Amino acid sequence: MTDVYEFMGASSLVPVVVIENPADADALGSALEDGGLPSAEITLRTPGALTVIRELAERPGFVVGAGTVVRPKQVDDAVAAGASYIVSPGFSADVARECAIQRVPLIPGTVTATEIQMALDAGIEVMKFFPAGASGGAPVIKALSAPFPNVRFVPTGGITLDTLPDYLRIPAVLAVGGTWIAPRDIIAAQSFKEITQRVREALAVVEENK
């Protein structure tokens, strides 16, 4: 199986996707791949999310994770659908325990030193910083990385193409999660060429900030 953290570090980007219609999964996967990013975090916010994960997981070389996971049962369902990693908006000891049982990487949401320590106690060193924009953004991540030098962050929430460089320049940031890459309304409108273009623009910014 693909090393999820290595993959994220190499691409520096994670498209965070809310998708309403599972019938759009194939076109979405192709749009992301055509842009150069065969990856997506599919949030479990819609009834068809697991179907989308299942379809994307069948694409050779495509790395798909399950986001907005808040209960242990969702871990089981996502892993059964083919998710390579699990993302939570916060830290849950029960979710962390189930991920350990399932041997699937967990990226829990943290925004305070206390939450980071809770995740560290569970043996987790890669954490989501969410909601990034509303929680102080890049300056807060820089401040938190000082007392926690071994933690790698995946900031998500409120990040745009314009603010992307602020996060990419922080050594503690493993990758940046972006909802702007494949927004719900653009998927619903089936504007998949627009998604491909957004991926290319974001990867160009990554290249400029290496």
In the chain, what is the greatest distance between 2 CA atoms, to the nearest angstrom? 46
* Tokens of residue 109, six digits: 């949401």
Catalytically active residues, by annotation: 41, 128
**Confidence at 2, pLDDT banded by 50, 70, 90:** low
Q: 36 phi and psi, to 5 degrees?
A: 105, 15
Q: 86 phi and psi, to 5 degrees?
A: -120, 140
What pLDDT is stored for residue 210 in this prediction? 87
How do residues 26-58 score in pLDDT, each as one tens digit? 999 999 999 999 999 999 999 999 999 999 999
Residues in CB range of 156: below 8 A, 6 or more apart: 14, 16, 128, 129, 130, 131, 132, 176, 177, 178, 179
- C-alpha span between 133 and 22 (Å, rounded): 29
Task: Please say if the pLDDT value at position 182 is more than 70.
Answer: yes
Q: How many CA atoms lie within 13 A of 31 on its CB side?
A: 23
Task: Give the 3-state secondary structure of 90-116.
Answer: CCCHHHHHHHHHHCCCEECEECCHHHH
* Tokens of residue 153, six digits: 């962050």
In what helix (H) or strand (E) does residue 185 lie, and over which residues does it extend?
helix 184-188
For residues 5 and 169, the answer to whether their CB atoms sit within 8 Å is: no
How do residues 58-102 score in pLDDT, each as one tens digit? 999 999 999 999 999 999 999 999 999 999 999 999 999 999 999
> What is the end-to-end Cα distance of the chain in Å, rounded?
26
Task: Please say if the pLDDT value at position 186 is more than 60.
Answer: yes
Q: Which CATH architecture has domain 4-208?
A: Alpha-Beta Barrel (3.20)
For residues 170 and 139, the answer to whether their CB atoms sit within 8 Å is: no
For 99-194, where are the E strands, in sequence order? Answer: 106-107, 109-110, 126-129, 152-155, 176-178
- Mean pLDDT (the chain) is 97
How do residues 140-175 score in pLDDT, each as one tens digit? 999 999 999 999 999 999 999 999 999 999 999 999
